[in-house]
A and B are shown apart, each in its own frame.
Chain A
Amino acid sequence: MDAPVASKPLRVALVGVPNCGKTALFNRLTGSRQKVANYPGVTVERREGERATADGRGLRVLDLPGTYGLTPTTLDEAITRDVLLGRLADTPVPDVVVCVVDAVHLPIGLRLALEVKRLGLPMILALNRMDMARRRGVSIDMERLAAELGTPVVPTVAVKRGGADQLVALLERAGPAPNRTVSAPAWHETTAEDAEQMQSDLRGLLAVAGYGPPRENPWFGRLDAVLLHPVSGLLLLALVLFVIFQAVFSWAAAPMDWIDASMASAGEWVLTHMPEGPLSSLLAHGVIAGAGAVLVFLPQIIILFFFILVLEDSGYLPRAAYLLDRLMGWVGLSGRAFIPLLSSHACAIPGIMATRTIPNWRDRLRVIMIAPLMTCSARLPVYSLLIAALIPRQDVGPFNLQGLVMFGLYAAGIVSALLVAYVMKHIAGSRQYSPLMLELPDFQWPHAGNLLLGLWERVKIFLSRVGGIILALMIVLWFLASYPEPPPEFTGPAIQYSYAGRLGALLQHVFAPLGFNWQISIALVPGLAAREVAVGALGTVYALSAASDDDVASKLEPLIAAEWSLATGCALLAWYVFAPQCLSTLAVVKRETNSWKYPLIMAGYLFALAYIAAFITFRVVNTWS
């Protein structure tokens, strides 16, 4: 049996300006056989996928971050340049570079291609969206362009099945990956003279290809006239956000109930079918409860990200960033901060990861620092419980009081985030200007396949980052709350005797000025590491045996209404708006900032704010009611 001659897959890198359809092409080439990791030492995502080829050798495709030129302005763009220059230890220089260019916007993509060509690597130009180009009256003479440019040119239609076939065929013919030791390409930053040279080269290429500007789609102009207008634009943005949040709450309710109920019956099944003892207790109250605590957030996260991805794919999100840039500038943020902060309303973790698109490091850090102040899904169980128990069901004008309080809590998160950003802007002193220079892409219908892949990726990230920690936490909590078991003569609830109870008794001294009773103090022990655990913990403290979180909440409600003062409840709400009760978030901040300093600063300032806010709230509501 012969061993294959060249069995190493061909290493292909995709390069292109943002919004050229590069990611869609990457998806088309690799399907679901993608792997997302990180470049060593930096927090930029490394997207690599594989594709089988007829000759059995296969392609390994690397989707490099989009950039407008090889002189980087962001960390992402620096990675693209460094990979092409072979400066990254683990990522060798690619065998072939595929420059993906949007045929409709040929000049801007071709300019980058000219810069990449100067590197001297084997290159192919992929003209993407050729179908769209034809529809808008753009014709490109590919043969003449290829001859003039000196590299092969192939058309691609990333969103259609088979749209990448010509590219794959060309790559297959590329020959065996030579066992060459490639010296890193020589490169220097583009000087003004280089720029002029490339500009005249570009003019020549465009003339040779017969490129003329695309026919304007009149709808784009009409849409932009409304969407970018200072008044109608902002009003429509507010409407879009309102619709999204409404949808997240109403659509997620049923699936969340279903998940809650399923976990509850799973737990019950374990308790009835296994002999009573530590193991069954661990499984039911530790593992299953833990898994349930994670899974119950998926519906909200999936729905919110669905909307965000639709807005992103359609081209609307950069327009929202444009509309908000001025307002956010007042507190020292850029319009680009809008997307991470919006995502943080589902969960701060993907929100913090989304800050990678912010060019300036100090700006990025500021957004990371305020992201946890956005009201994330995990706070909702506590908010809902306390509001239901303590806020009367009245109407204030046309509005429901309970609804108003909930809205007020959301607003408190956003307002406090803006205030903190404002303070940071003045503490940090003078800073380097970070540009906007944001492209507003053409409008397009979102593509279902890309949407699904994007959703799937975010779900995987949430489950792996958050799920692990919460599950581990629930098991630790179960242990701390169950042991040591009280002797028979002990009259209080079992949990008071346990480690968790003793810790809570200690914390009581710290929390007494805030009006927190010992039950809250104990529940906050695990609640400090993961917010959503607090309701279940409260249930355990009040010695409720209940099947699921929902059940616990409904049983807790009358207890709380009867026993807690309004001031205590409000103080706890105020605490929850600020307190950094999420180990997963702190862990992600450590990863994204590559240091312990920033998560510690974040935890510190948030605890301080939480304490102060709860203290003031307790005193004010106490004297007032």
Chain B
Amino acid sequence: MISHLPSSDTLTPGTLALSELRRGEKAVVMGLAGDESLLPRLRDLGFVPGMHCEVTARMWPGGDPMVVRIGGSTFALRRVEAAAIRVLQVRERDAVPATLAREGTSAATA
């Protein structure tokens, strides 16, 4: 599913690295930030702003590698690769990503 979010800086407070998500957690991609050599291929695979994704498996220990579903396809990513993907976590019933809702007011005062 592609949702249209207002454009935002990828390092907005509240964004996480995809590698920090637990199994079963869902998020929406905000952008890419990290090792330049990884970014083009991550884009090719569909990790672009607005795409929803879900973590379906994590290896012990440390979630390296992990399995992510995005755009109907499933990929295995190492921790360092997932760390280059910045996301906002989405809770099941939220219309708006949880962290934006929670930190909406504090961001204004930052």
Contact = CB atoms under 8 A, between A and B. Distances in A.
Given A108-B46, A213-B1, A439 B41 contact: no
Given A111-B46, A199-B48, A203-B2, A440 B40 contact: no
A436 B45 contact: no
Interface in B5-32: none
Contacts of B40: 69, 71, 190, 195
B104 interface: no
Contact of A435 (B2, B41, B57, B73): B41
B57 A229 contact: yes
A448 interface: no
B80 interface: yes
A interface: dominant SS: helix
Interface string A246-281: 000000000000000000000000000000000000
B100 interface: no
A224 interface: yes
A349 interface: no
B41 A73 contact: yes
A193 to B, nearest CB: 12
B48 A105 contact: no
A224 B78 contact: no
Interface string A225-238: 10011100000000
A108 to B, nearest CB: 6
Given A229-B57, A322-B59, A68 B41 contact: yes
Contact of B77 (A111, A203, A436): A436
B38 interface: yes
Interface in A556-576: none
Contact of B35 (A104, A108, A224, A433): A433
Contacts of B73: 105, 108, 439
B71 A325 contact: no
A214 interface: yes
Contacts of A104: 72
A436 B78 contact: yes
A112 B44 CA distance: 8
A326 B64 contact: yes
B46 A437 contact: no
A107 B64 contact: no
Q: Pick from A68, A71, A437 the residue with the most CB of B within 10 Å.
A: A437
Contact size range, A? 35 or more
B77 A228 contact: no
Interface residues of B, number: 31
Contacts of B77: 436-437
A98 to B, nearest CB: 20
A214 B65 CA distance: 26
Given A203-B2, A322-B59, A437 B72 contact: no
Given A108-B46, A228-B57, A325-B59, A436 B76 contact: yes
A326 B59 CA distance: 8
Contact of B42 (A107, A203, A325, A437): A437
A325 B57 CA distance: 14
Q: Pick from B35, B43, B46, B80 the residue with the most CB of A within 10 Å.
A: B43
B41 A440 contact: no
B71 A105 contact: yes
Given A322-B67, A438-B76, A68 B59 contact: no
Nearest to B4: A203
A440 B46 contact: no
A431 B2 CA distance: 38
Given A68-B44, A318-B76, A326-B64, A230 B59 contact: yes
A104 B74 CA distance: 13
Interface in A193-238: 195, 199, 203, 206, 213-214, 221, 224-225, 228-230
Nearest to A104: B72
A105 B70 CA distance: 10
A-B pairs with lowest CB-CB distance, top 6:
A69-B44, A228-B57, A322-B76, A68-B44, A440-B74, A230-B60
Given A213-B1, A228-B57, 6 more contacts: A230-B59, A323-B59, A435-B38, A435-B81, A437-B77, A440-B74
